[in-house]
Amino acid sequence: MARQRRESVRHRNSVHDRRRRQRMTCDVVPARMAKARPARAFGLAIGLLAFANFVIVTSEFIVVGLLPAMASDLGVSLAEAGRLVTWFALAAAIAGPPATMLAARSEPKLIVMLTALVIAAGNLAVVLAPRYEALVVVRIAQGCALTVFVSVSTVAAGFLAHLLLSSVLFTAMFAGYTFIAPLLGTVAGVSGTAVGWMLAGFGLAGILGNWAAGHAADRDPLVATVAVAFALAVAMAAVGLATNAPVLLMIIIGLWGAAHMAAFVVSQVRVMQAGRGAPALAMSLNISVCNFGIALGAVFGGWIADGRGVENVGYGGGAAATVAILIASAMVAARASTKSKPRSA
């Protein structure tokens, strides 16, 4: 009798276990399927946001390739035309963080669409604006919108460094890059059509630099920053030495383009690692200090162009990049010293 009861209990337990496993299977499989659909949608969203960031950030620097023509059409000096980059960058630097904090209260999709619309309308206005003053107003509005767009869209997808280093690095980048068109045309003697091809090569090399920087930043973004700053210093300083060597000039422009785009990646990754607790604010501050660097670089390059000649702009950018190398190297040394202390204790 006792044996029959034990067998009956064992049978009920086995039936209960089988039903429980069936319920768990029914629960888990749909959950996995539900996770798979958002993962694919999230990948598509990241791709769209990356493309939108590429297009919108390009709007900030669209005037760089048009600088000589814009200066001529508007009747202003190259330095004054270069300040269109400065006005954009200052607006992004000063208005960006508070505007991002206000935008954080709203729906991210709405903010992304509105800021993209502002920047697109601004690009149209740049074509139609009849006077330099009107262009300044348009560039300021675009600068305000850019920081909000990049901050909100990047935090939505995920990514972002040490603020002083970023600012100095971007000063170096844009001391030379703001004036790359007159540097190639006036100093290197490159024709108008060839300047366009040179800038296209600059951009293509930038894609490779972006890819390489992504891999390097995954390992150590700070060490990668040292390498990027070194490449920038060499490339910008060497442009003036390759005026009569077109093949060498193309190689230098390629190195410059790769390092230029790589600097965006390594700076962003450094700041995002440092500000994991508040990624949106970290991204906003990074954009702010980088745009301060852009503004300072454009002014610094204009000062050199007006006072020493456009041919010396590359040397100024190389000098600023050398400062970035020293700062980043000091940070690497300080980090190594900090890591060695627990082992010696």
Contact (CB, 8 A) for 154 and 53: yes
pLDDT at residue 328, rounded to an integer: 87
Contacts made by residues 243-246, CB under 8 angstroms, sequence distance 24+ = 243/187, 243/188, 243/189, 246/190
pLDDT class of 232 with cuts at 50, 70, 90: very high
pLDDT at residue 1, rounded to an integer: 53
pTM of the model: 0.64
Helix (H, G, I), strand (E, B) or coil at 196: helix
Distance in angstroms (rounded) separating the CA atoms of residues 326 and 314: 19
245: left (phi over 0), alpha (psi -120 to 50) or beta: beta
User: 64-100, pLDDT tens digit by residue?
Assistant: 877 888 888 888 888 888 888 888 889 888 888 888 8
DSSP H or E stretch at residue 39: helix 2-60
In the chain, pLDDT over 90 holds for what percent of residues?
Answer: 7
Distance in angstroms (rounded) separating the CA atoms of residues 283 and 88: 18
pLDDT class of 120 with cuts at 50, 70, 90: confident
Out of 20-34, 191-205, 271-285, pick the least confident. 20-34
pLDDT class of 325 with cuts at 50, 70, 90: very high
Mean pLDDT of all residues in 98-105: 82
Contact (CB, 8 A) for 338 and 345: no
Distance in angstroms (rounded) separating the CA atoms of residues 18 and 107: 46
User: 191-209, pLDDT tens digit by residue?
Assistant: 777 788 888 888 899 889 8
Helix (H, G, I), strand (E, B) or coil at 328: helix
Contact (CB, 8 A) for 271 and 225: no
User: 38-47, pLDDT tens digit by residue?
Assistant: 444 545 665 6
Q: To the nearest whole number, what is the mean pLDDT of the chain?
A: 77
pLDDT at residue 75, rounded to an integer: 83
Helix (H, G, I), strand (E, B) or coil at 331: helix
Mean pLDDT of all residues in 103-125: 82
Is the model's pLDDT at 221 over the cut of 70?
Answer: yes
pLDDT class of 271 with cuts at 50, 70, 90: confident
Burial of 145 (0-12, 13-18, 19+ CB in 10 A): buried
Q: What are the structure tokens assigned to 186, written together?
A: 């006036």
pLDDT at residue 34, rounded to an integer: 37
Amino acid type, 222: L
In the chain, pLDDT over 70 holds for what percent of residues?
Answer: 79
User: 121-142, pLDDT tens digit by residue?
Assistant: 888 877 777 788 888 888 888 8
pLDDT class of 226 with cuts at 50, 70, 90: very high
User: 131-182, pLDDT tens digit by residue?
Assistant: 888 888 888 888 888 888 888 876 655 443 456 788 888 888 888 888 788 8
**Who wins on pLDDT, 14 or 153?**
153
Task: Report the 3 state secondary structure along 239-302.
Answer: HCCCCCCHHHHHHHHHHHHHHHHHHHHHHHHHHHHHCCCCHHHHHHHHHHHHHHHHHHHHHHHH
Is the model's pLDDT at 26 over the cut of 50?
Answer: no
pLDDT class of 258 with cuts at 50, 70, 90: very high
Domains of the chain: 64-338 (1.20.1250.20)
pLDDT at residue 3, rounded to an integer: 53
Distance in angstroms (rounded) separating the CA atoms of residues 197 and 178: 17
* DSSP letter assigned to residue 312: G
Distance in angstroms (rounded) separating the CA atoms of residues 241 and 49: 40
Is the model's pLDDT at 14 over the cut of 70?
Answer: no
* DSSP letter assigned to residue 310: G
Burial of 128 (0-12, 13-18, 19+ CB in 10 A): exposed
pLDDT at residue 4, rounded to an integer: 53
Is the model's pLDDT at 293 over the cut of 80?
Answer: yes
The interaxial angle of helices 279-307 and 313-344, nearest 10 deg, is: 140
